[in-house]
Amino acid sequence: MSGIWYSCMTTEWGDVHLAADDRGLVASSLFGAPRDDLHAKKKIDPDIRLVHDREYRRTGAYRSWLRGYLNREVDCCCLPLFPRGTAFQQAVWEQMLQVPFGETLSYGEIAARLGKPGAARAVGSAAAANPIPIFIPCHRVVRADGTPGGFGGGTRLKQRMLLHESSS
């Protein structure tokens, strides 16, 4: 059984749990989600042991980035991210990383960018499976009419994050 290092960061928006291996970040929770969220939706294999990263050797850079995000000092994450997912999910997450801070794209626009114009729902499913929310900005993907659409942390949190970014 191998291990993944994790830490919890308390923010004014709620706790965020981070999990990293030797390569980089493999999972994160949304603001206020329980630590068990790291194993939810197969973000991390349930057989993998979580080891507390007390000295933040593996999660420290991500904690710093998150502080910068909340203070509007950083916009995109240039740290190593290693989400587990299918080839289609990986392609969707890569497109999400291209959405600039303060902007949004629709599920359909991402599907079109992937050359699959009828796959808006599949893009939504891939967004819901994102194991590294906040860092891979699935909150920047909205419905075609501009309304938020679904979000693992609820639409209130999604709207808060979009407002946070748009008022920079």
Distance CA(94)–CA(73), nearest Å, equals 22
Measured distance CA(45)–CA(58) in Å, rounded: 18
CA geometry: angle 32, 71, 14, nearest 5 deg: 10
**78 assigned to active site:** no
| Run of H or E including 121 | helix 120-128
User: In 3-state terms, what secondary structure has residue 9?
Assistant: strand
* Residue 34 neighbours by CB distance under 10 Å: 11
The catalytically annotated residue of 8, 76, 77, 138 is: 138
Q: What are phi and psi of 156, to 5 degrees?
A: -65, -45
Check if the beta carbon of residue 152 is closer than 8 Å to that of residue 30.
yes
Q: Where in the sequence numbering do the catalytic residues fall?
A: 138
